[in-house]
Amino acid sequence: MKAYVVERYGKKEKLNLREIPEPDINDDEVLVQVHATAVNLLDSKIKGGEFKILLPYKTPFVLGHDVAGTVVRVGSKVRQFKPGDAVYSRPDDFRIGTFAEYVAVKEASLAIKPDNITMEEAASLPLVGLTAWQALVEKAKLKKGQKVFIQAGSGGVGTFAIQLAKHLGGTVATTTSATNTAMVKSLGADVVIDYKKDDFEKAIRDYDVVLNSQDAATLKMCSGPREGSFPFQVHPTLLLPRRSRRLGS
C-alpha cells in the first residue's frame, strides 16, 4: 500500500511517499481502508522529535491519528463491525498510521460513522473532540451554571469545547481574532475577546474553569479564578494521548 512515511525525525524533514506492506490485524482489530484523515499539531510535534521520550516511535513509521473509512477485514474476536461498514476512529498509540491507504484499529477504538456527515467531516472529529471531552467532562467535571474560559476558540479543540461547554450548561468566554468572532458566536460563545486588542487576563478573573490549548506562557496568564471556586485549569499539552496529558497550574 502507499503511505507517507517518517524516515528521520526533524522539524524540517519531509514525509516521503512509499510502498509498504498492509498492516496485519490482531484478533481484536479491524482493517480499515482510509477514505479521509486529518493533520494535527500532534503529528507535527511527533515528527519533529519533541515527544520521543513519551512516544518513542522507531523510524520508519507512519503518522496520522484520525481516520474515516470502510471496514475491509475483521479479526476473529470482532463482533461489532463487518466488511463494508463506514467507520471512524482515533487509533491507539503505537497503532497510529492513518496517512496510508489502510490502517489497523482496535474494535474498542472504532465507531460507526453517522450517515449525516461525510468521510472528511468524520475524520476531523476524533482527536480534537476527545481532547475537549476529556478536558471538560472527565477532568474539570464541568457543571451547569459554571463559567468557562476557552483559549483559542476558533482552533480545533476550541470549536469542539465551546459547543460541549454550552451543551453542559456552561457560560462560555473565548479568545479569537475579529475575523472569527461571528463563527465562535455561532457555536455558542457568550463572550468573545479579540486577543489582538483586548487583555483577556482581566476579562476572565471570575471564571470557574479555564481550558488552555496554547503554550505554557499562555497557561500562566490564565489565572485569577472566581473567589471561592476551584481553580481548575486544563492544558491539553498539544493533544498528547491520555496517559501523558497533564493539568496546568
Q: In CATH, what class is 2-124?
A: alpha beta
Measured at the CA of 148, the angle between CA 185 and CA 39, to 5 degrees, comes to 65
Kind and range of the H or E element at 86?
strand 86-89
- Tell which wins on pLDDT, 181 or 236: 181
CA pair distance 103, 190, nearest whole angstrom = 40
- Domain-wise residue ranges, the chain: 2-124, 127-247
Confidence of residue 196 (pLDDT cuts 50, 70, 90): confident
Percent helix, strand and coil across the chain, each to the nearest 5: 25, 25, 50
CA pair distance 108, 141, nearest whole angstrom = 24
- The residue-averaged pLDDT of 46-70 equals 96
**Which of 41-55, 113-127, 206-220 has the weakest average pLDDT?**
206-220
From the candidate CATH numbers 3.30.56.10, 3.40.50.720, 3.40.50.2020, 3.50.50.60, the one assigned to the domain spanning 127-247: 3.40.50.720
